Amino acid sequence: MRDETFLHLRAAGTSLVLDCTGNGLPRVVHWGEDLGELSQGALAALTRAGVPQVASNNVDVVVPVGVLPEHSAGWLGTPGLTGHRAGADFSTAFAVTSLETADRAVTVTAEDVRAELELRIEIELTESGLVRQRATVTSQAEAGTAPFSLSGVLLTLPVPERATELLDMTGRHLRERTPQRHEFTIGTHLRENRKGRTGTDAATVHVAGERGFGFRSGEVWGLHVAWSGNQRSLAERTHAGVSLLGGGELLLAGEIALGPDEAYTTPWVYGAYGRTGLDELAARFHGYLRGRESHPRSARPVTLNVWEAVYFNHDLAKLKELADLAAEVGAERFVLDDGWFRGRRDDHAGLGDWYVDEEVWPDGLHPLVDHVRKHGLEFGLWVEPEMVNPNSDLARSHPEWILATGDRLPPESRHQQVLDLGHPEAYAYILERLDALVTEYALTYLKWDHNRDLVEAGHSPTGQAGVHAQTHAVYRLLDELRARHPRLEIESCSSGGGRVDLGILERTDRVWTSDCIDALERQRIQRWTGLLLPPELLGSHVGAPEAHTTGRTHTLGFRAGTALFGHFGIEWDLTRASEADRAALGEWIKLYKELRPLLHTGTVVRGDHPDPALWVHGVVASDGARAVYTLAQVATSVASPPGLVRLPGLDPDGDYRVRPLPPGDVRRPAWDALAWWAEGVTLPGRVLEKVGVRAPIQFPERLVLIEAVRV
């Protein structure tokens, strides 16, 4: 049946060794550092060398743990497939019927004759060294047989015993991607999301690693579920010495009932390995994303979004003035945010009525669009197509289009409910409205928002759970709209960063990283969102001097220097900015335009600086010729003056000229004692990474930029 009983997939310093002997599902023998060329004999020996003894008071055979673990094999941890057919067939026992291999990929087909199920598992190793898996379960039962009620499919990857510490993310609105770490002890660390979207508190990447791992040190293994609806991920360690990471969609009761020949396919589940810390793990995700055909290739335009400038108060004269000033400072895209459609004077009404408000815009949006385009700026529009206000013509006309249990509405959030896109007529209405708007105004950009969690999301009138269908409908809607308008770019915004995952990013061009653009908060949010996404996918804007969400006041240099390491934009009422501030902002925009070829293609690096008050991060060109770093003082340091700062990621054998980079080179009189600061210094890359340069004395919530150029 198989030419090779052991498969060895290799890419970018990663090896994945699969044991495909026997009729059971493939087992992962090794996932981690590249093992080099190995013969079938060596792979067999490697497998034998790792077989444990049978433990006392356990089953009398060694328990194989496949990529989809099975209770029938003696596995008593979290099962890979859960479900039943009228109460029976709760425990599957799949036997492999075929195995197809391609370059760095394998497809396994298996069946459980008793349960009348077929299982197809696809396993790939991407060019950047990511492992990705997905499974398809198909019912082979005849007509008249009870459907198979599927409640979950979990795909797993093992990690070694030396991975003793876990890292994942939590958070909330305005504070997304907050890291949390703890011991990887025996038991299950389970992260479940039932919000109907990825969630502001999503695990994002579930990481296991050696104790004390950092950005530049320690072996790490991470898992990401590429799905924008309910999901779960887990890290599990058993008393029998098995440790694994696993993930998949979280299915609500009754969402998947497979009749004859009906199938369910899981989202892709990604695994990333880093031999030398989190930066290497992140680089695999970044490399994969940048290698997609759909990845944005054009220079990421400087975007002015008007939300924090005008909110719902749309006034043509004010908006035209904003467009004038946007062009003056060097913006390239103008986005009209919430408030342009019928009845939308605040967030209590209007969602669903996707027609330009005739009272506010008697001539439509054309006067503004024309004015914006005279400046050579692109024009974009905010929409929230998945939501509906009860106070809207749409909700009054079609209450059956609201996701609900059938006899009651869920609690409102931001005065809105969720439109059931699984309803064919609701889907058709939204597609027609979006298509019409993009066509009439030749839009090149949509800021696609999603401002509430899904609570009791059921199809009316039956009340059947509908999150799975809703997520697929959103994907279809995005795909169809992009097919009709190939030049259209879409931002995934969901109360800011509530929908950040590789499923939505197959269909969108960036994420709105957070509704909070307080630069201090953004330093952390962007730092940890970068574990999954490269800078060009992170919407990062310069806000007003006083942050609207926190009330903090920051210098323009701190705000703009923070936004620099993302897809740069402006979220500031420029009509209230002084001429000097606008001129300074223009200098930062010039720097962004000059640096974006580097920032949006280079390798992201972050330093493991011992002082938690001083963060170091940067981007190094793929050829190592140039790098730009930020030294960000996020709090006061215990010690003063600060110590040496190491600059990671440079060519160890190259000599680099290191110097401050304007306009992020703000000086203080106390820095005059820094011998290298004014003139720069030339050192080998290995010295800059292993020893470093003296950091300038900084006040809290300040930053400086440093450039390193190979000479």
What residues act catalytically?
449, 515
Cis amide prior to 461 (ω within 30 degrees) = yes
User: Under a CB-based contact definition with an 8 Å cutoff, are residues 277 and 496 in contact?
Assistant: no
State the Cα angle at 131 between 128 and 136, rounded to 5°.
135
For 239, other C-beta atoms within 10 Å of its C-beta total 10
For 597, other C-beta atoms within 10 Å of its C-beta total 11
φ, ψ of residue 476 in degrees (nearest 5): -65, -40
Q: Residue 101 is inside which H or E element, if any?
A: strand 95-102
Measured between alpha carbons, how far is 387 from 354 in angstroms, rounded to an integer? 11
Three-state secondary-structure class, residue 8 = strand
Catalogue the E-assigned strands of 555-680: 567-571, 603-606, 614-620, 626-633, 644-645, 655-660
For 678, other C-beta atoms within 10 Å of its C-beta total 12
φ, ψ of residue 402 in degrees (nearest 5): -95, 130
Q: Which amino acid is at 114?
A: R
- List, edge to edge, every strand of the sheet that includes 681-684: 603-606, 614-620, 626-633, 702-710, 655-660, 681-684
CA-based diameter of the chain, in Å?
Answer: 85
H-assigned helices in 266-331: 278-290, 307-310, 316-329
Instruction: Work out whether strand 269-274 and strand 220-225 pair parallel, antiparallel, or are unpaired.
Output: antiparallel
Q: Which residues contact 246 (CB under 8 A, 6 or more apart)?
A: 78, 80, 154, 155, 156, 157, 223, 233, 234, 236, 269
3-state SS, one letter per residue, for 150-173: EEEECEEEECCCCCCEEEEEECCC
For 652, other C-beta atoms within 10 Å of its C-beta total 12
Cis amide prior to 641 (ω within 30 degrees) = yes
Residue in the structure block whose two tokens are 């799949």: 94
Q: Closest Cα partner for 157 from 218, 76, 66, 227?
A: 66
Q: Closest Cα partner for 222 from 177, 266, 169, 146?
A: 169
Q: Which residues contact 291 (CB under 8 A, 6 or more apart)?
A: 126, 127, 128
Three-state secondary-structure class, residue 247 = strand
Torsion-angle region of residue 314: left (phi > 0), alpha (psi -120 to 50) or beta? beta
